[in-house]
Amino acid sequence: MKLLREILFPLIAVFAAFVVGGIVVWIIGDSPFQTYKLLIGSAFSWPDGIGYTLFNATPLIFTGLAVAVAFRCGLLNIGAEGQLYVAAFAAAWVGFKFGAPAPDNTVISQIAHLPAILLVPMCCLAAIVAGAIWGGIPGILKAKFGSHEVINTIMLNFIAVALLSYFTQYHYKIPGDAIMQTAPISPNASLPTLGRFIPGLPARIPLNFAFILAVIACILVYVFLWKTKWGYEMRATGANPSAAEYGGISIRKQIILAMAISGGLAGMVGINEVLGYRHRYYDGFSANYGFVGIAVALLGRNHPVGVFLAAILFAILLRGGIFVDAYTIHVSKDIVDMLQGIVIIFVAAEAMFRGPLKKFGLMKKAKV
Protein backbone atom coordinates (compact mmCIF):
# COMPACT_ATOMS: atom_id res chain seq x y z
CA MET A 1 0.00 0.00 0.00
CA LYS A 2 2.84 2.38 0.81
CA LEU A 3 4.46 1.69 -2.56
CA LEU A 4 1.13 2.34 -4.29
CA ARG A 5 0.83 5.68 -2.53
CA GLU A 6 4.40 6.62 -3.45
CA ILE A 7 3.62 5.99 -7.12
CA LEU A 8 0.05 7.25 -7.14
CA PHE A 9 0.49 10.80 -5.83
CA PRO A 10 3.16 11.86 -8.35
CA LEU A 11 1.07 10.41 -11.19
CA ILE A 12 -2.01 12.28 -9.98
CA ALA A 13 0.03 15.48 -9.68
CA VAL A 14 1.35 15.18 -13.23
CA PHE A 15 -2.08 14.33 -14.64
CA ALA A 16 -3.72 17.22 -12.79
CA ALA A 17 -1.01 19.60 -13.98
CA PHE A 18 -1.58 18.60 -17.59
CA VAL A 19 -5.34 19.01 -17.20
CA VAL A 20 -4.95 22.51 -15.77
CA GLY A 21 -2.35 23.34 -18.40
CA GLY A 22 -4.68 22.12 -21.13
CA ILE A 23 -7.43 24.40 -19.85
CA VAL A 24 -5.04 27.35 -19.93
CA VAL A 25 -3.99 26.50 -23.50
CA TRP A 26 -7.65 26.24 -24.54
CA ILE A 27 -8.44 29.62 -22.98
CA ILE A 28 -5.50 31.18 -24.80
CA GLY A 29 -6.89 29.92 -28.08
CA ASP A 30 -4.82 26.90 -29.08
CA SER A 31 -5.66 23.21 -29.14
CA PRO A 32 -4.52 21.41 -25.97
CA PHE A 33 -4.23 18.12 -27.88
CA GLN A 34 -2.06 19.62 -30.61
CA THR A 35 0.05 21.44 -28.04
CA TYR A 36 0.67 18.32 -25.99
CA LYS A 37 1.37 16.33 -29.12
CA LEU A 38 4.15 18.77 -29.93
CA LEU A 39 5.29 18.95 -26.32
CA ILE A 40 5.54 15.22 -25.70
CA GLY A 41 5.83 13.73 -29.17
CA SER A 42 8.88 15.76 -30.13
CA ALA A 43 10.80 14.31 -27.18
CA PHE A 44 10.38 10.73 -28.39
CA SER A 45 11.53 11.14 -31.98
CA TRP A 46 14.68 9.28 -32.96
CA PRO A 47 17.44 10.22 -32.79
CA ASP A 48 17.21 13.93 -31.95
CA GLY A 49 14.24 13.83 -29.60
CA ILE A 50 15.43 10.97 -27.42
CA GLY A 51 19.07 12.03 -27.60
CA TYR A 52 18.44 15.60 -26.47
CA THR A 53 15.86 14.53 -23.88
CA LEU A 54 18.34 12.22 -22.17
CA PHE A 55 21.02 14.90 -22.44
CA ASN A 56 18.72 17.45 -20.76
CA ALA A 57 17.80 14.89 -18.10
CA THR A 58 21.42 14.21 -17.11
CA PRO A 59 22.04 17.34 -14.98
CA LEU A 60 18.55 17.06 -13.48
CA ILE A 61 19.27 13.51 -12.32
CA PHE A 62 22.40 14.70 -10.52
CA THR A 63 20.74 17.69 -8.85
CA GLY A 64 17.60 15.69 -8.04
CA LEU A 65 19.72 13.07 -6.29
CA ALA A 66 21.61 15.83 -4.47
CA VAL A 67 18.42 17.33 -3.05
CA ALA A 68 17.00 13.88 -2.25
CA VAL A 69 20.03 12.77 -0.22
CA ALA A 70 19.97 15.96 1.84
CA PHE A 71 16.22 15.66 2.38
CA ARG A 72 16.56 12.07 3.61
CA CYS A 73 18.69 13.52 6.41
CA GLY A 74 16.08 16.18 7.17
CA LEU A 75 17.96 18.93 5.32
CA LEU A 76 16.99 21.15 2.40
CA ASN A 77 19.85 21.84 0.02
CA ILE A 78 19.04 25.01 -1.92
CA GLY A 79 22.69 25.36 -2.87
CA ALA A 80 23.00 22.78 -5.65
CA GLU A 81 23.21 25.66 -8.12
CA GLY A 82 26.34 27.08 -6.51
CA GLN A 83 27.81 23.62 -5.94
CA LEU A 84 27.53 22.67 -9.61
CA TYR A 85 29.13 25.95 -10.68
CA VAL A 86 32.11 25.44 -8.38
CA ALA A 87 32.42 21.85 -9.58
CA ALA A 88 32.30 22.80 -13.25
CA PHE A 89 35.05 25.36 -12.78
CA ALA A 90 37.19 22.86 -10.86
CA ALA A 91 36.79 20.27 -13.62
CA ALA A 92 37.72 22.84 -16.26
CA TRP A 93 40.75 24.05 -14.27
CA VAL A 94 42.14 20.54 -13.97
CA GLY A 95 41.29 19.92 -17.62
CA PHE A 96 43.35 22.79 -19.00
CA LYS A 97 46.09 22.75 -16.36
CA PHE A 98 47.02 19.06 -16.43
CA GLY A 99 46.55 18.14 -20.09
CA ALA A 100 48.17 18.91 -23.40
CA PRO A 101 46.79 22.31 -24.45
CA ALA A 102 43.94 22.66 -26.92
CA PRO A 103 44.79 24.58 -30.14
CA ASP A 104 43.48 27.91 -28.79
CA ASN A 105 44.69 27.36 -25.26
CA THR A 106 48.37 28.24 -25.50
CA VAL A 107 48.04 31.25 -23.20
CA ILE A 108 47.35 29.02 -20.17
CA SER A 109 50.46 27.48 -18.66
CA GLN A 110 50.21 23.74 -18.04
CA ILE A 111 51.33 22.01 -14.86
CA ALA A 112 51.59 18.59 -16.51
CA HIS A 113 50.55 16.77 -19.68
CA LEU A 114 48.58 13.77 -18.50
CA PRO A 115 47.03 11.09 -20.73
CA ALA A 116 43.26 10.67 -20.92
CA ILE A 117 43.29 7.58 -18.70
CA LEU A 118 44.51 9.77 -15.82
CA LEU A 119 43.14 13.17 -16.75
CA VAL A 120 39.46 12.22 -17.13
CA PRO A 121 39.23 10.60 -13.65
CA MET A 122 41.10 13.57 -12.18
CA CYS A 123 38.62 16.02 -13.70
CA CYS A 124 35.67 13.96 -12.50
CA LEU A 125 37.15 13.71 -9.02
CA ALA A 126 37.83 17.46 -8.98
CA ALA A 127 34.18 18.17 -9.80
CA ILE A 128 32.86 15.82 -7.11
CA VAL A 129 35.28 17.02 -4.42
CA ALA A 130 34.70 20.71 -5.21
CA GLY A 131 30.93 20.22 -5.02
CA ALA A 132 31.29 18.22 -1.80
CA ILE A 133 33.41 20.94 -0.18
CA TRP A 134 30.97 23.68 -1.21
CA GLY A 135 28.08 21.58 0.08
CA GLY A 136 29.95 20.63 3.24
CA ILE A 137 30.43 24.26 4.30
CA PRO A 138 26.73 24.83 5.17
CA GLY A 139 26.71 21.33 6.67
CA ILE A 140 29.49 22.29 9.08
CA LEU A 141 27.81 25.60 9.89
CA LYS A 142 24.58 23.75 10.61
CA ALA A 143 26.21 21.03 12.71
CA LYS A 144 28.58 23.24 14.69
CA PHE A 145 26.64 26.48 15.10
CA GLY A 146 23.01 25.64 14.30
CA SER A 147 22.98 28.01 11.32
CA HIS A 148 20.10 27.15 8.98
CA GLU A 149 21.24 25.35 5.84
CA VAL A 150 18.63 27.04 3.63
CA ILE A 151 20.03 30.52 4.30
CA ASN A 152 23.64 29.36 4.04
CA THR A 153 23.20 27.48 0.79
CA ILE A 154 21.33 30.37 -0.83
CA MET A 155 24.07 32.82 0.15
CA LEU A 156 26.78 30.44 -1.08
CA ASN A 157 25.07 30.34 -4.48
CA PHE A 158 25.70 34.06 -4.94
CA ILE A 159 29.25 33.78 -3.65
CA ALA A 160 30.07 30.91 -6.02
CA VAL A 161 28.73 32.60 -9.15
CA ALA A 162 30.40 35.95 -8.37
CA LEU A 163 33.74 34.40 -7.43
CA LEU A 164 33.91 32.22 -10.52
CA SER A 165 32.92 35.11 -12.77
CA TYR A 166 35.90 37.02 -11.39
CA PHE A 167 38.35 34.17 -11.97
CA THR A 168 37.00 33.58 -15.46
CA GLN A 169 37.13 37.24 -16.46
CA TYR A 170 40.54 38.16 -15.06
CA HIS A 171 42.59 34.96 -14.94
CA TYR A 172 41.42 32.13 -17.21
CA LYS A 173 39.73 33.72 -20.21
CA ILE A 174 41.60 33.84 -23.50
CA PRO A 175 42.51 37.47 -24.26
CA GLY A 176 40.17 39.00 -26.81
CA ASP A 177 37.41 36.46 -26.26
CA ALA A 178 34.13 38.36 -25.96
CA ILE A 179 32.39 35.43 -24.27
CA MET A 180 32.67 34.87 -20.53
CA GLN A 181 34.32 31.47 -20.65
CA THR A 182 37.62 29.92 -19.72
CA ALA A 183 40.19 28.51 -22.09
CA PRO A 184 39.18 25.06 -23.38
CA ILE A 185 40.19 21.90 -21.59
CA SER A 186 42.67 19.49 -23.07
CA PRO A 187 41.29 17.04 -25.66
CA ASN A 188 42.51 14.31 -23.29
CA ALA A 189 39.93 15.45 -20.71
CA SER A 190 36.88 15.05 -22.94
CA LEU A 191 34.19 12.42 -22.41
CA PRO A 192 33.01 10.58 -25.53
CA THR A 193 29.51 11.10 -26.85
CA LEU A 194 27.27 8.03 -26.84
CA GLY A 195 26.86 8.45 -30.58
CA ARG A 196 30.23 6.75 -30.93
CA PHE A 197 28.79 3.58 -29.43
CA ILE A 198 25.07 3.61 -30.30
CA PRO A 199 24.21 2.96 -33.97
CA GLY A 200 21.99 5.65 -35.45
CA LEU A 201 22.81 8.27 -32.81
CA PRO A 202 24.71 11.09 -34.56
CA ALA A 203 27.87 12.44 -32.95
CA ARG A 204 26.39 15.98 -33.13
CA ILE A 205 23.96 15.11 -30.35
CA PRO A 206 25.75 16.01 -27.08
CA LEU A 207 24.45 13.02 -25.10
CA ASN A 208 27.63 11.69 -23.56
CA PHE A 209 29.04 9.24 -21.04
CA ALA A 210 27.89 11.47 -18.18
CA PHE A 211 24.39 10.03 -18.67
CA ILE A 212 25.77 6.58 -17.87
CA LEU A 213 27.37 8.09 -14.76
CA ALA A 214 23.97 9.52 -13.81
CA VAL A 215 22.37 6.07 -14.01
CA ILE A 216 25.21 4.60 -11.95
CA ALA A 217 24.76 7.42 -9.42
CA CYS A 218 21.08 6.48 -9.02
CA ILE A 219 22.05 2.88 -8.28
CA LEU A 220 24.80 3.86 -5.84
CA VAL A 221 22.57 6.31 -3.98
CA TYR A 222 19.90 3.63 -3.59
CA VAL A 223 22.44 1.11 -2.30
CA PHE A 224 23.95 3.67 0.07
CA LEU A 225 20.66 4.87 1.55
CA TRP A 226 18.83 1.55 1.86
CA LYS A 227 21.51 -1.13 1.99
CA THR A 228 24.26 0.29 4.18
CA LYS A 229 24.65 1.20 7.84
CA TRP A 230 25.62 4.78 6.95
CA GLY A 231 22.51 5.24 4.83
CA TYR A 232 20.32 3.88 7.60
CA GLU A 233 21.85 6.29 10.09
CA MET A 234 21.29 9.17 7.71
CA ARG A 235 17.65 8.26 7.13
CA ALA A 236 17.12 7.74 10.86
CA THR A 237 18.49 11.21 11.50
CA GLY A 238 16.06 12.68 9.00
CA ALA A 239 13.10 10.74 10.38
CA ASN A 240 13.66 11.48 14.07
CA PRO A 241 16.86 13.25 15.15
CA SER A 242 16.16 12.81 18.87
CA ALA A 243 15.58 9.07 18.58
CA ALA A 244 18.61 8.68 16.32
CA GLU A 245 20.83 10.50 18.82
CA TYR A 246 19.42 8.41 21.66
CA GLY A 247 20.39 5.32 19.63
CA GLY A 248 24.01 6.44 19.46
CA ILE A 249 24.01 8.15 16.05
CA SER A 250 26.04 11.35 15.77
CA ILE A 251 23.61 13.92 14.39
CA ARG A 252 26.37 16.41 13.59
CA LYS A 253 28.32 13.84 11.63
CA GLN A 254 25.25 12.87 9.62
CA ILE A 255 24.44 16.49 8.76
CA ILE A 256 27.95 17.19 7.48
CA LEU A 257 28.10 13.89 5.60
CA ALA A 258 24.68 14.39 3.99
CA MET A 259 25.49 17.89 2.79
CA ALA A 260 28.90 16.82 1.48
CA ILE A 261 27.41 13.90 -0.45
CA SER A 262 24.65 16.15 -1.71
CA GLY A 263 27.18 18.70 -2.92
CA GLY A 264 29.27 16.01 -4.57
CA LEU A 265 26.26 14.73 -6.51
CA ALA A 266 25.36 18.25 -7.62
CA GLY A 267 28.97 18.72 -8.64
CA MET A 268 28.69 15.86 -11.12
CA VAL A 269 26.74 18.25 -13.33
CA GLY A 270 30.14 19.76 -14.07
CA ILE A 271 31.27 16.46 -15.56
CA ASN A 272 28.44 16.55 -18.08
CA GLU A 273 28.83 20.25 -18.81
CA VAL A 274 32.62 20.58 -19.05
CA LEU A 275 33.94 17.16 -20.04
CA GLY A 276 31.04 16.04 -22.17
CA TYR A 277 29.56 19.17 -23.74
CA ARG A 278 31.21 22.62 -23.79
CA HIS A 279 34.76 21.43 -22.98
CA ARG A 280 35.36 24.59 -20.96
CA TYR A 281 33.77 26.53 -18.12
CA TYR A 282 31.07 28.83 -19.47
CA ASP A 283 29.81 31.54 -17.15
CA GLY A 284 26.06 31.21 -16.64
CA PHE A 285 25.80 27.76 -18.23
CA SER A 286 23.19 26.40 -15.83
CA ALA A 287 19.53 26.51 -16.83
CA ASN A 288 18.63 26.65 -13.12
CA TYR A 289 19.56 22.97 -12.80
CA GLY A 290 20.03 23.28 -9.06
CA PHE A 291 16.59 24.75 -8.47
CA VAL A 292 14.79 22.45 -10.92
CA GLY A 293 16.47 19.60 -9.06
CA ILE A 294 14.34 20.50 -6.02
CA ALA A 295 11.21 19.93 -8.09
CA VAL A 296 12.66 16.70 -9.51
CA ALA A 297 13.36 15.36 -6.01
CA LEU A 298 9.92 16.43 -4.79
CA LEU A 299 8.12 14.73 -7.66
CA GLY A 300 10.38 11.69 -7.38
CA ARG A 301 9.54 11.32 -3.67
CA ASN A 302 13.26 11.58 -2.82
CA HIS A 303 13.88 8.08 -4.17
CA PRO A 304 16.55 7.44 -6.84
CA VAL A 305 14.11 5.66 -9.16
CA GLY A 306 11.58 8.44 -8.77
CA VAL A 307 14.27 11.06 -9.31
CA PHE A 308 15.34 9.38 -12.54
CA LEU A 309 11.77 9.25 -13.88
CA ALA A 310 10.98 12.81 -12.77
CA ALA A 311 14.15 14.08 -14.45
CA ILE A 312 13.10 12.38 -17.69
CA LEU A 313 9.67 14.04 -17.44
CA PHE A 314 11.13 17.50 -16.88
CA ALA A 315 13.59 16.93 -19.72
CA ILE A 316 10.69 16.00 -22.00
CA LEU A 317 9.02 19.28 -21.12
CA LEU A 318 12.22 21.23 -21.78
CA ARG A 319 12.73 19.58 -25.16
CA GLY A 320 9.09 19.85 -26.21
CA GLY A 321 8.85 23.49 -25.19
CA ILE A 322 11.06 24.42 -28.14
CA PHE A 323 8.59 22.94 -30.63
CA VAL A 324 5.55 24.35 -28.84
CA ASP A 325 7.10 27.79 -29.08
CA ALA A 326 7.84 27.35 -32.77
CA TYR A 327 4.70 25.63 -34.09
CA THR A 328 1.78 26.96 -32.06
CA ILE A 329 0.10 30.30 -32.62
CA HIS A 330 -0.46 31.57 -29.10
CA VAL A 331 1.36 29.23 -26.71
CA SER A 332 5.00 29.91 -25.91
CA LYS A 333 7.64 27.72 -24.31
CA ASP A 334 6.69 29.36 -21.02
CA ILE A 335 4.10 26.60 -20.75
CA VAL A 336 6.98 24.40 -19.58
CA ASP A 337 7.57 26.59 -16.54
CA MET A 338 3.84 26.71 -15.91
CA LEU A 339 3.51 22.91 -15.98
CA GLN A 340 6.52 22.50 -13.71
CA GLY A 341 5.02 24.95 -11.23
CA ILE A 342 1.62 23.27 -11.27
CA VAL A 343 3.21 19.84 -10.75
CA ILE A 344 5.06 21.17 -7.71
CA ILE A 345 1.89 22.73 -6.30
CA PHE A 346 -0.08 19.50 -6.63
CA VAL A 347 2.71 17.38 -5.16
CA ALA A 348 3.02 19.79 -2.23
CA ALA A 349 -0.76 19.80 -1.78
CA GLU A 350 -0.91 16.04 -1.39
CA ALA A 351 -3.53 16.32 1.35
CA MET A 352 -6.19 17.48 -1.13
CA PHE A 353 -6.17 14.00 -2.67
CA ARG A 354 -6.49 12.07 0.57
CA GLY A 355 -10.26 12.26 0.86
CA PRO A 356 -11.09 11.00 -2.64
CA LEU A 357 -8.56 8.18 -2.36
CA LYS A 358 -9.91 7.04 0.99
CA LYS A 359 -13.32 6.58 -0.62
CA PHE A 360 -11.77 4.03 -2.97
CA GLY A 361 -9.99 2.23 -0.13
CA LEU A 362 -6.52 3.13 -1.37
CA MET A 363 -5.35 4.64 1.90
CA LYS A 364 -6.88 2.54 4.63
CA LYS A 365 -3.54 1.08 5.69
CA ALA A 366 -1.30 3.92 4.63
CA LYS A 367 -0.32 6.76 6.90
CA VAL A 368 0.01 9.95 4.89
Q: Residue 202's Cα: distance from chain center in Å?
A: 25
Bridge partners (DSSP) listed for residue 208: 193
Could you give the residue ranges of the DSSP H alpha helices within 203-275? Answer: 210-227, 229-239, 241-246, 251-267, 269-270
Q: Would you list the domain boundaries of the chain?
A: 2-359
Predicted confidence band of residue 236 (pLDDT cuts 50, 70, 90) = very high
Least confident segment among 199-213, 302-316, 317-331: 317-331
Is 22 a residue whose pLDDT tops 50?
Answer: yes
- pLDDT, tens digit, 9 for 90 and up, residues 47-103: 999 999 999 999 999 999 999 999 999 999 999 999 999 999 999 999 999 987 766
Question: What do you get for the CA distance between the two ends of the chain, in Å?
Answer: 11
Tell me the residue type at 311.
A
- How far is Cα 356 from Cα 205, in angstroms, rounded to an integer? 45
- pLDDT, tens digit, 9 for 90 and up, residues 332-352: 878 888 888 888 888 777 656
Q: What is the mean pLDDT of the chain?
A: 90
- pLDDT, tens digit, 9 for 90 and up, residues 146-159: 999 999 999 999 99
- pLDDT, tens digit, 9 for 90 and up, residues 1-18: 565 667 777 888 888 889
- How far is Cα 295 from Cα 51, in angstroms, rounded to an integer? 22
Please state which architecture CATH assigns to domain 2-359: Orthogonal Bundle (1.10)
- Rounded to two decimals, what is the model's pTM? 0.92
Quote the pLDDT of residue 366: 41
- How far is Cα 20 from Cα 173, in angstroms, rounded to an integer? 46
Burial class of 324 by CB neighbour count within 10 A (0 to 12, 13 to 18, 19+): buried
Predicted confidence band of residue 331 (pLDDT cuts 50, 70, 90) = confident
- How far is Cα 270 from Cα 263, in angstroms, rounded to an integer? 12
